Structure 1
Amino acid sequence: MMPNTYTQIYIQLVFATKGRDSQITNLVREEIEKYICGIFNNKGQKVMAIYANPDHVHIFFSYKNLQITISDLVKVVKTESTNFINEKKLCVNHFTWQQGYGAFSYAKSQKERVVNYILNQETHHEKKSFRDEYVEFLNAFEIEFKDEYLFEFYD
């Protein structure tokens, strides 16, 4: 018998629309979220929470299939969702994601808090800009960064 591999890794991904254009409207948000969840599922991952803001997305998932790197997973998600959005003409203008992403890991004990945080994005962003939120993540996780290499922020 071969021993199995067991993992428990929780990751929150954050990435933005190109130019931080507010292209994801409430009319198409759920359809885009469902499509992205399908991509994760097809890659052997389990999405626990997703929220597509008009100009950025948060995805919290259980990283199960270690055969695909997080970087490759993000590339597939961005490419396939971009093609889907443009083919279905879900956004007024040509849609694309901005380069780069944030990936933040969490303990199982933080799972419920992160799920609630993501599902309450609309309320959360009434009080805090995406830039402030993202810089807070980087600082909280002690990730060194340079402003010029962050997403294009216009707020």
Structure 2
Amino acid sequence: MPNTYTQIYLHIIFATKGRDIKISSNVRDEIEKYICGIFNNKKQKVLAIYANPDHLHIFFSYKNLQITIPELVKTTKIESSNFINDNRLCLGKFNWQEGYGAFSYSKSQKDKVVNYVLNQEEHHKKKSFKEEYSALLKAFEIEFKDEYLFEFYD
């Protein structure tokens, strides 16, 4: 569409099914590269990605408004699960949990969020995923019920 310009920064988070520890450090890079490829094929620009053992953070510039956020997340989950299972990158069957969080940021916050995503390993030495996710929901004033969050066992 002519004369349509956007600049939207989104941070998406989703977890492995059952919050199982499935993404080992020796396959993390391969999984991240594959997911970046999915985003690239959907005309999105990944600014930072980090695959924790039990959840994933993606910070990207949402440019192609031809795909909705739910469609992008669904496609990413399906295609990356298939890739992980087809290439036997983890023990047992791999699946992502239902649901996700999506948070928007301004351009002035871009560097801070990139740094946050890329430093997940250090971050989770101080804060659990549940604490992190709940804090984001509260900071963005998103109403939620604990029973509808990801499956948390910590």
Class of the TM-score when normalised by the shorter of the 2 chains: over 0.9
Q: What is the RMSD of the two structures over their aligned residues, measured on CA atoms?
A: 0.7
Asked if 1:106 is matched to 2:105, the reply is: yes
Secondary structure at the residue paired with 1:127?
coil
TM superposition shift of 1:7: 0.2
1:21 aligned partner? 20
CA distance in 2, matches of 1:111, 1:30: 22
CA distance in 2, matches of 1:132, 1:71: 24
Q: Which amino acid in 1 is paired with 2:134?
A: V
Q: Which amino acid in 1 is paired with 2:132?
A: E
Q: Can you give the 5+ residue segments of structure 2 that lack an aligned partner in the other structure? A: none
Please give the per-residue CA displacement for 1:86-107, whole angstroms capped at 9, x wherever unaligned. Answer: 0000001100000000000000
Q: Which amino acid in 1 is paired with 2:78?
A: T
Asked if 1:77 is matched to 2:76, the reply is: yes
Q: Which amino acid in 2 is paired with 1:126?
A: K
Q: Which amino acid in 2 is paired with 1:44?
A: K
1:61 aligned partner? 60
Please give the per-residue CA displacement for 1:65-119, whole angstroms capped at 9, x wherever unaligned. Answer: 0000000000000000000000000001100000000000000000000000000
TM superposition shift of 1:46: 0.2
TM-score (norm 2): 0.99
TM superposition shift of 1:29: 0.1
CA distance in 2, matches of 1:84, 1:17: 14
Aligned-residue sequence identity (percent) comes to 75
Secondary structure at the residue paired with 1:126?
coil
Q: Which amino acid in 2 is paired with 1:42?
A: N
Q: Which amino acid in 2 is paired with 1:129?
A: S
CA distance in 2, matches of 1:15, 1:105: 15
1:138 aligned partner? 137
2:33 aligned partner? 34
2:45 aligned partner? 46
Q: Can you give the 5+ residue segments of structure 1 that lack an aligned partner in the other structure? A: none
TM-score (norm 1): 0.98
Asked if 1:11 is matched to 2:13, the reply is: no
